Structure 1
């Protein structure tokens, strides 16, 4: 018996309170009717209650985030404290630490986690074999580059230092070495905190500057890095001393053109030197404090001033300051149009007194410096072939015949085809091995790039005349270069030899980045294993030859340019050290230890009153690095033997 439509309609309006589906509703029970109304069972939605396991996982994640933020803040504070002691460094803003208090409710926990995730920068988890593992040792990277790996692990990183400690059993950080310490800025150490305006702008007598300039233009430093030319220097010098007798000079207020000229002369005094290192540092500090007078508007005077100050910092191994000044110089030379080749005026083959050729010469100095800065610091190059006219100047073509006889050709030696082609090669090396795109390459692609770059380096080496051509293998019996005073050809020969070894080391040590997954699994394919060992052998031979070459000619190099000793020695020693860590039980580890011992003794024997304080500091930096890497290498060998027993 079915109910009528009215009952059905009323039933839809009646809220049935029956708990059991089989029981009749109140309406049907009261009227003794069979209840035919079927009610859908209401399913109660389960509340999203946080399980204990979920809460524990969230707590663990939040603790990880807090730890990451805390570590980031401590690193930032340490870098800020270090950068305050280094001139022209860029200070990173420390990441604020999130103060999280957790309540017992799941809602409070979720809100806290959301706040932490929104306030915390992203720190991607990078596998150990990835070349993008962050390296916090920025000072070391700024000096030695990004080509250092051991079993796929970046050596100059925090995890790399931990790996060194595990292999040697010794506490070690690269910041412990003299070469990578942060020193007080030249501005703080060379000038008092408050300098009277008149004293800040003071220059020596014009006659004194003229005598220093005459000696400088005849020196090898001017031939190696010709920022200045005599004609333009005399013009700026006259402008700097134009109003020295006026009342404006006594008050320390000058017209803009004279202010820029005075800063220019101070930078020249810091570059030229006068036998007193403290005087050079004082003028460099003045230029640093007055740099805004020459960089506000792009000009040739400003560009030359920046390049001279950069060269001073380069010789003092202030790498952070070098990089920042280099960026300013590159942007300024492009703003002036130096990246576009301008034709030489008719009737003059060089015409250095003309703005166009002088600007083009400064561009080439910036371009060559750009390649060195990018490889050593790991930062992208600023001047590349896509945006610059790299046509070799016609007035330099005579050097391709190997003629270095007259004074003009010596002054242009920095722009020889051998050096320019080497710079083109360095740009290619960075693009194919160290750019962001290159960091995504598979092992096979990396090995192919290494082989192609090796062929390109050999083509470059073969293009050099026999008198200057570098060699891969150099024995300890090779005679040291004579490098007669003013001998531009000898200077170029030494430079090409050291740069060839450096390029071979940089390219072939990168092979240690390959095979990380296979090394962990213990199953390295034979072809990959053979390719890795082949490149390692080449880089080790280049590094060994570098140490032998520097050891035999260190006295000559120190007189010419002591920066060669610290940098090239560090690169070669770190290459041998990486091999000792990777193969501590190999017989050649003892050979590398012997080479480090020999190089250390020979460099230490150079110390004496014949060198300047700056040169002695640079030699001591190299000696300190060799001694520490030698000690750690011995510890790695001893620990490997103990583990076997």
Structure 2
């Protein structure tokens, strides 16, 4: 009888097209024979090209895979050595020294042990034997996996092919990324699911624009094509995402301003009255935009300098006064003196004046100016045992402006996906002296005492965490991380965020999860109440942002017999729970928000809506699915209850758009639940 032994083989998919199942697959099978007793090395190369329509199990490939070499005609000595060579192992002594062991009989000593009078043993514990990759079974299994992957890709393409009459007319983004490929793009402005790009978020209003792949996935989960009427094109969103509704009309001409265009600034007593109100309020503690002593000099220069042939310093002082009036007249709108101020007119004039020597009067320009005067490095605390000099007052004020810029810079980086302007590596991020004591005073909870030192918005330590999250999760380098590295980064950031949470005094600390209606104490001062709201919303928002990055991990959730990755599943669950907490907490806290901060806080509920919606579609059988649908429906009322300082056409249009968007999310969520119940034969009682 002829004896055959399969030696070794390796399949290499050489053509990229073969991996995606497009036009042609080139399979190169290399069978290498290397047997020392034969004293020779044999190589046989088989190359087979198959078209797309042909199976991987065609006879030419099967022939290449199942090549056997007849050893029946070999000499008896070679056949005996061949059989003995398979189980032969190096003895313990030779194995430890990594030298060749010539032991052929288990009962005899090898040459090394015999000459060194050592015991020739085989007592070491062998590790788990790895499966031989070049075995016939391994090759067949790998080919089957390739074939199954190609079949799944084709099935997905065919089953999700949109009919012409059902294709949505919204501004869906084309997605050319292949299956299970992660495209490097703006990570924060992109919604990822199982490594696929499903939507891009418009940073101007937070509403997503779904890609064709995202719409197809929604259809596969709900049986309905989404009807998101996105009138705004994504390009328009990206071009205008840095312009607020109030600033759309502020477009100064790019030329030197003429004096007759500047008009008259309000009378000096108006400015003094608003300055007094500013210094007596807690508004100066959160936004220390001016210093009282330094601003007095600015007022004198603005009002006392001649209008004709004004110097750059005088023009800058007038612009500063006008900008201050534009801000304070909005905040202290209940004061009688504000009737003397047209805030929009003041803002236009200030921007027109500043354009004489600054082309772009924006936050970016302010950040550049702050860093040019050294605000990012002026971390030393001013003396407290004497009055400050003018230089020390200026340095302290520049440092406050730096922290304001830093805070908003990191917030915008998270919301619009653009890289931050300020790099932590070049900034001294030492917190102000006694910052925590001033930020979380114990007596402030009763409303009896307000701190006197400025503490800026929110918590600066949370801004530092936001900066770390942007760099670790959404920078260009972080988008190339493997799934394991990404999950490890998420765990580290989650631990840092939890350490921050437990460091907050219990009276202010955000709750891990908000599952019931929240009641805020009526005795809280407006400042303390806003701080409480900011900390809770920012904590759950950042928790959601950190853990929703796990959607970039590539996982085939529907593959039978495959266990979910525990770390990925827990991360997605935390993201959804943080989103639930945001909507539940905001349902109680929304009426207490400052009206002028509507556009700052609107991103919290919108971000939460998206996380909950995708979780419902991903797992419509979840025990909280029905509850989440109700939560989505209630979010319309929550957003409508958020105060708006002044409702314009822009705000009304946005609210109508949000109503339609939330209604569509609810329709699709209910369809997903109904679809899975129908497939399971009805609702389980």
| Alignment TM-score > 0.5, same fold | yes
Q: Which has the higher helix share?
A: 1
* Correspondence list, 1:580-591, <5 A: 580-584=616-620, 586=622, 588-591=624-627
With 506-515 and 217-226 compared, the bigger mean Cα shift is at 217-226
1:223 is paired with a residue of what secondary structure? helix
Aligned runs of 1:349-368 on 2, under 5 Å? 351=388, 354-368=393-407
Aligned residues of 2:182 and 2:196 also touching (Cα < 8 A): yes
CA contact (8 A) 1:216 1:272 kept: yes
CA distance in 1 between counterparts of 2:653 and 2:400 reads 35
Query: Are the counterparts in 2 of residues 581 and 633 from structure 1 also a CA contact under 8 Å?
Result: no
Who is 2:323 aligned against? 267
Aligned match of 2:191 in 148, 157, 174? 148
CA distance in 2 between counterparts of 1:575 and 1:514 reads 16
SS at match of 1:208: helix
Q: Deviations over 1:72-94 (max 9, x none)?
A: xxxxxx9xxxxxxxxxxxxxxxx
Report the CA distance shift for 1:228/1:500 in structure 2 as closer, same or farther (over 3 A): same
Deviation at 1:188, TM superposition (A): 6.3
Closer, same or farther in 2 for the Cα pair 1:213/1:152, shift >3 Å? same
Aligned mates of 2:349, 2:191 — CA distance in 1: 38
Q: Is the 8 A contact 2:379 2:432 kept in 1?
A: no
Secondary structure of 1:261's partner? helix
- Alignment deviations for residues 496-551 of structure 1 (CA, whole Å, 9 cap, x no partner): 111110111101111111124x35x83685252x2222112111111111111111
3-state DSSP class of the match of 1:394? coil
Q: Structure 1 CA distance, aligned partners of 2:620 and 2:568?
A: 17
Deviations 1:302-341, CA, capped at 9 Å, x for gaps = xxxx9xx7xxxxxxxxxxxxxxx23222222221111113
C-alpha contact 1:223 1:414 (8 A) present in aligned 2: yes
Equivalences for residues 535-574 of structure 1 within 5 A: 535-559=571-595, 561-574=597-610
Which among 292, 298, 303 is matched to residue 355 of structure 2? 292
Matched with 1:338 is 375
Contact 1:481 1:556 in 2 (8 A): no
Output the CA distance in 2 between the equivalents of 1:534 and 1:410.
43
- 2:237 and 2:626 map into 1 onto residues whose CA distance is 26
State yes or no: 1:509 paired with 2:559. Answer: no
SS at match of 2:344: helix
For the structure 1 residues 626 and 220, does the alpha-carbon distance in structure 2 shift closer, same or farther, using more than 3 Å as the test? farther
The whole-number CA distance in structure 2 between the counterparts of 1:433 and 1:192 is 38
Structure 1 residues 262 and 541 mapped into 2: Cα distance closer, same or farther (>3 Å)?
Answer: same
Give CA-to-partner distance per residue, 1:178-205, whole Å, 9 cap, x none.
Answer: 9969689756646899997424243111
Gaps of 5+ in 2: 1-170, 201-207, 219-223, 680-685
In structure 1, distance between residues paired with 2:247 and 2:595? 27
- Show the counterpart of 2:153: none
Q: 1:258 aligns with which of 288, 295, 314?
A: 314
The answer to whether residue 254 in structure 2 is matched with residue 204 in structure 1 is no
State the SS of the aligned residue for 1:431: helix
Range 387-396 or range 270-279, more displaced: 270-279
- Distance (whole Å) between structure 2 residues aligned to residue 584 and residue 352 of structure 1: 65
Higher strand share: 2
Q: CA deviation at 1:210?
A: 1.5
Over residues 581-637 of structure 1, what are the superposed CA-to-partner deviations in whole Å (9 max), with x where a residue is unaligned?
A: 333454533222201222323443667xxx632499658746742541342342354
2:345 alignment counterpart: 282
Indicate how the Cα distance of structure 1 residues 439 and 540 shifts in structure 2: closer, same or farther if over 3 A, else same: same
Q: What is the rounded CA distance, in whole Å, between the counterparts of 2:268 and 2:299 in structure 1? A: 8
Which of the numbers 200, 209, 212 marks the counterpart of 1:162? 212
Which residue of structure 2 aligns with residue 132 of structure 1? 183
How far, CA to CA, are the matches of 1:394 and 1:294 in structure 2? Answer: 35
Structure 2 contact 540–578 (Cα < 8 Å) conserved? yes
Corresponding position of 2:365: 328
Q: 1:147–1:509: 8 Å Cα contact kept in structure 2? A: no
- Cα displacement (A) at 1:439: 0.4
* Alignment: residue pair count: 475
Match of 2:110?
none
**Partners of 1:483 and 1:350 in 2: CA distance:** 36
Q: CA deviation at 1:447?
A: 0.8
Q: How far did 1:125 drift?
A: 6.1
Distance 1:408 1:428 in 2: 31
2:292 to 224, 230, 233: 230
Q: Residues of 2 paired with 1:395 and 1:352: CA distance?
A: 21
- Answer yes or no: is the 8 Å Cα contact 1:147–1:510 preserved in 2: no
Measure the CA separation in 2 of the matches of 1:524 and 1:290: 68
CA 1:564–1:549 in structure 2 vs 1: closer, same or farther (change >3 Å)?
Answer: farther
Matches of 1:482 and 1:619 in 2, distance apart?
30
Quote the RMSD (CA, aligned, Å). Answer: 3.9
The 1:615–1:393 alpha-carbon spacing in structure 2 relative to 1, beyond 3 Å, is farther
Measured after TM superposition, the shift of residue 267 of structure 1 is 1.3
1:441: which partner in 2? Answer: 481
Deviations 1:166-185 (A, max 9, x none): 32413325555999696897
3-state SS of the aligned residue for 1:409?
Answer: coil
Quick check: 2:633–2:663 contact (8 Å CA) kept in 1?
Answer: yes
For the Cα contact (< 8 Å) 1:600–1:626, is it kept in 2? yes
Shift of 1:423: 1.6
CA distance in 2, matches of 1:373, 1:187: 17
**Match runs of 1:76-91 below 5 Å:** none
CA distance in 2, matches of 1:279, 1:422: 36
How far does residue 445 in structure 1 lie from its aligned partner after superposition? 0.8
How high is the TM-score relative to the length of structure 2? 0.61
The separation in 2 between residues aligned to 1:613 and 1:159, in whole angstroms, is 28
1:596 to 628, 632, 635: 632
| Further displaced range: 431-440 or 616-625 | 616-625
Contact 2:540 2:579 in 1 (8 A): yes
Q: Structure 1 stretches of 5 or more lacking a match?
A: 1-77, 79-122, 136-140, 297-305, 310-324
CA distance in 2, matches of 1:330, 1:342: 16
Shift of 1:223: 2.4
Change (3 A) 1:408 1:544: closer
Does the CA-based 8 Å contact 1:186-1:285 persist in structure 2?
Answer: no
* Distance verdict in 2 for CA 1:627–1:533, change over 3 Å: farther
Structure 1 SS opposite 2:264: coil
Alignment of 1:348-497 (within 5 A): 348=385, 351=388, 354-396=393-435, 398-399=437-438, 402-403=441-442, 409-414=451-456, 419-482=459-522, 484-485=524-525, 487-497=526-536
Distance change (3 Å), C-alpha of 1:627 and 1:410: farther
